[in-house]
Amino acid sequence: MLIRVCLGLMVMIAIPAWSQAQEDFQDQTISADDSQMQTPPPISDQPYPTQTGNEVRSNYLSLGAGFSTGYVDNLYPGATAAPLSETFYSINPAVSFDERTGRQQATIAYLSGYTFYHPNSILNFANQSLTALYSYRFTPHVTLVTQYGFTRTSNLYGQPGQVGTNGVSGSLQPSTQGILAPFASQRTNAVNAELTVQTSRTVMVGGSFEDMTLHYLNPAQAAGLSDGSALGGTGFFNRRLGQSQYIGANYQYSRMQSSLLNTNFDLLTHTIEAFYTFYFDKNFSVSVAAGPEHYQMQMPQFPSNGSWTPSAVASLGWQGPTTSFSLSYSRAVGGGGGLIGASTSDIVDAEARWQISRSWATGVGANYANNGNATQFIPAGFVTGHSIAGTATIERRLSALLEVQFAYMKIHESYGGIPALAANPDSSSETVYLTWQLRRPLGR
């Protein structure tokens, strides 16, 4: 129901805004020579880019296949009295498509495959992932961006780009982050849309909605972790000061649900933030946002529990010709990401990439999450703890079609009340990826 309401609001906003934008062009309030306003990270649904400037490609069709093999010293960190080591092999055919014109962009990437385990072949699993983005510019100052993501996997280590962080974001994320169950069979869905309307040379308004779900396919592999979902929307006001500074305000509503042992937990949050972003240039920015957040926890047979708390996020991102770097810190109350109830989360994300030469590239990623209990009627052990994860990669392009990558990942999680994470909290893996990709340009 909320999705329909959000879509209806976006349509109602878009119709008068589209008409107003056309009138503005006719009256030359906004001229074609004026630069477009940026959508600063605190109000953007897009993470900071991880590719360097030289790696960005558009207007192509790609067909490929990947093979990976690796060794894990602890398959289910925390779940067994002694570490359980495994060797795995994955085969992943893939197809991707990117087309851009002056008004729209369409990007689709699909990957499927199968993962084999040794010596425990009973863990063999079919993997799938799909990501899609469609952006349409109704007028030079009215843009709609929609995105969809689907993943079904039992091995986040077996797919390049799936380990470590999911991209560094400069905005608050509604669901709890930092809970890693890399070998628990799981399915995730995420859909979001964002509408931005530039009403004058220095003013932009807009809104977005997001719907996410997480489902563990085999509860025995994720004992103590819960299925979850997050549904919400935002509205924002964005003002440009000169050519390099932006200020504004953002309101975010979220409803997060988690379930464990047939018990549902509902968390409602309302957040109001003021933000400031400074652009050193179009590829380098620093942002801060802060404001009050009200949360309310609802659980069957218990009284509603809620309070006010501060929220904040600070981030920076830089994308150069051969180097990219992004860093963020956030503090907010969230839920629905594997933990039950509500958690006060402090999250730090960082990613860096360096294209050493045309044939060599390397990257690192790190994530730290500290989750504290934000409710009174849930035992602290179920939601209190911390996790640390780090990834390092090095890539070598062997030919125009063939690439090899080596990745190392280390995770440590400490959650005493969650059986899946309690006993042996450490896990590390070494993985080799071999990727063949045939890419053809479109429209040439």
Cβ atoms 309, 346 nearer than 8 A? no
Residue 215 domain flag: yes
Residue 34 domain flag: no
pLDDT digits (tens, 9 = 90+) for 152-187: 887 655 455 444 446 788 888 766 655 667 667 888
Instruction: Return the ∠ at Cα 110 (arms to 108 and 115), rounded to 5°.
Output: 160
CA distance 240 to 124: 53
pLDDT digits (tens, 9 = 90+) for 316-325: 999 999 999 9
pLDDT digits (tens, 9 = 90+) for 241-252: 988 999 999 999
- Tokens 């010596």 map to which residue? 119
Least confident window among 124-138, 168-182, 347-361: 168-182
Residue 33 domain flag: no
Task: For residue 279, give the amino acid letter.
Answer: Y
pLDDT digits (tens, 9 = 90+) for 5-34: 343 433 333 333 333 333 333 333 333 345
User: Region 100-121: what's the mean pLDDT?
Assistant: 89
Residue 47 domain flag: no
Residue 41 domain flag: no
CA distance 211 to 306: 23
CA distance 233 to 268: 12
Buried b (16+ CB within 10 A) or exposed e, 112-147: ebebebeeeeebebebebebbbebebbbbbbbbbbb
CA distance 226 to 264: 10
User: Region 365-370: what's the mean pLDDT?
Assistant: 90
CATH (domain of 294): 2.40.160
CA distance 363 to 392: 6
The range of the structural domain enclosing residue 158 comes to 60-441
Please tell me the predicted confidence (pLDDT) of residue 173. Answer: 76
Residue 366 domain flag: yes
DSSP-assigned letter for residue 172: -
User: Region 309-337: what's the mean pLDDT?
Assistant: 91
Confidence band (pLDDT; 50, 70, 90) for 264? confident
CA distance 56 to 320: 11
What percentage of the chain carries pLDDT values higher than 70? 81
pLDDT digits (tens, 9 = 90+) for 78-109: 555 566 788 888 898 999 999 998 899 999 99
3-state helix, strand, coil in the chain (%, to 5): 10, 60, 30
Say how many domains are in the chain: 1
**Token pair of 337, please?**
């990401």
- Tokens 């510019």 map to which residue? 137
Buried b (16+ CB within 10 A) or exposed e, 327-341: bbebbbbbbbbbbbb
Please tell me the predicted confidence (pLDDT) of residue 316. Answer: 96
